[in-house]
Structure 1
């Protein structure tokens, strides 16, 4: 992977890597654009297949955060961080405090929050080392329900544009992923009378969604072939691409 070529092609300002051997911490922070303000973006904790895959994900996600902030009209830029490893790890304090120290070296240029594999409790550990963190317990907390609601109303807006009505009743939606955002989204859709098809690499999460919403479960590979009015990619991302 030619890192500088990737940064130049996508317009990134910074890419930083950190290693703390005392706890096995491997972290990456990508900053895409700070024209409007400090970069905001969550911390993703995932077992990537390679360092290149982790860097690619961080760069892609940081760029997306720039656009989100700009569209929302808020004075923030786009950034993202990833921790490479097993997100089921139990001894999380040492890991997330190491991540907090890494963030603190940027002196407020990057602000983090939750993403896949992390929680408000993890943000509390980061807070012990830096003030540049959001999504704390008792404050903004877990952003997943709000994210899901944004996806839901976005679907309704798209439906009105496509079919002349924002009602989703009777429509079919294929949801890729069964995590926090997908679960809240499926609850909104189920309440409105949507026919749901769901998938996830975690079979237990799929079983729970099926029990709660009556959704049809399919394998991760089969989700792309399902007849549906709407496709909702709520997994790791980058599933809608040129291929």
Structure 2
């Protein structure tokens, strides 16, 4: 199937497929729009049932980044990187990170990558060894960014509070029941913020052990 045949193809400026046999890298970089500036969006490392689903994810997320960056008033377009994990639970290798960095560099600045699922500040540093077009580096390095997870969690937390106030008339979150599916960097941070406010939490994650551990820490309920 060509990119034009995907239902989520929305006049994307570019959909780039990268393969590096030496490292085993298979990656997709989707550039939705550079109308406002370089296409910016995180790179994720994830296992997909097939490559079509990986491309679909990149198409959807890059389009979303165009709108997010525009709404934030940033001079940035929308892009997304997806690195395919061969098996669930795989860890991306240094060689794959370096190969992905070279892929980003080959686009000449049309796409700026950053941290997303399966990535970290340390992994961004490895990528930065191969390309100038990377953010999400440790703040101590002098670059803007760092781990975006806490900021994303804070944004969702404020949205949940606003929704509870509007929909339930709640003046605070004490006793409000909230279910969170996925308790990694963002979901876990959100859970901690809501727990401080006295919300009653139900947590779920593909990693049941992680959900149970956080539930024990916060006095929440974990479900499979």
TM-score by length of 1: 0.85
8 Å CA contact 2:178–2:201 kept in 1: the answer is yes
Question: Which residue among 158, 177, 181 is the counterpart of 2:182?
Answer: 177
Deviation at 1:218, TM superposition (A): 1.1
Deviation at 1:70, TM superposition (A): 1.2
How many Å separate the matches in 2 of 1:156 and 1:166?
9
How many Å separate the matches in 2 of 1:47 and 1:2?
21
Q: Secondary structure at the match of 2:108?
A: coil
Alignment: residue pair count:
219
> Where in structure 1 are there 5+ consecutive unaligned residues?
220-243
- Range that drifts further, 138-147 or 184-193: 138-147
Relative distance call for 1:8 and 1:151 in structure 2 (3 A) is: closer
Aligned to 2:123: 122
Deviation at 1:10, TM superposition (A): 2.2
Alignment partner of 1:59 is 2:59:
yes
Question: Which residue among 139, 146, 159 is the counterpart of 1:141?
Answer: 146
Q: Secondary structure at the match of 1:100?
A: helix
8 Å CA contact 1:45–1:87 kept in 2: the answer is no
Alignment partner of 1:47 is 2:47:
yes
Q: Secondary structure at the match of 1:107?
A: coil
Q: Secondary structure at the match of 2:6?
A: helix
8 Å CA contact 2:8–2:59 kept in 1: the answer is no
8 Å CA contact 1:120–1:141 kept in 2: the answer is yes
Aligned to 2:34: 34
Deviation at 1:158, TM superposition (A): 2.0
The CA RMSD measured in Å over matched residues stands at 1.7
How many Å separate the matches in 2 of 1:91 and 1:8?
27
Relative distance call for 1:88 and 1:141 in structure 2 (3 A) is: farther
How many Å separate the matches in 2 of 1:192 and 1:57?
34
- 1:1-243 pair list within 5 angstroms: 1-6=1-6, 9-85=9-85, 86=87, 89=90, 92-137=93-138, 138=140, 139=143, 140-219=145-224
8 Å CA contact 1:158–1:166 kept in 2: the answer is no
- Range that drifts further, 9-18 or 184-193: 9-18
Deviation at 1:8, TM superposition (A): 7.6
8 Å CA contact 1:119–1:142 kept in 2: the answer is yes
Deviation at 1:120, TM superposition (A): 0.7
Q: Secondary structure at the match of 1:10?
A: coil
How many Å separate the matches in 2 of 1:36 and 1:157?
30
Q: Secondary structure at the match of 2:114?
A: coil
> Where in structure 2 are there 5+ consecutive unaligned residues?
none
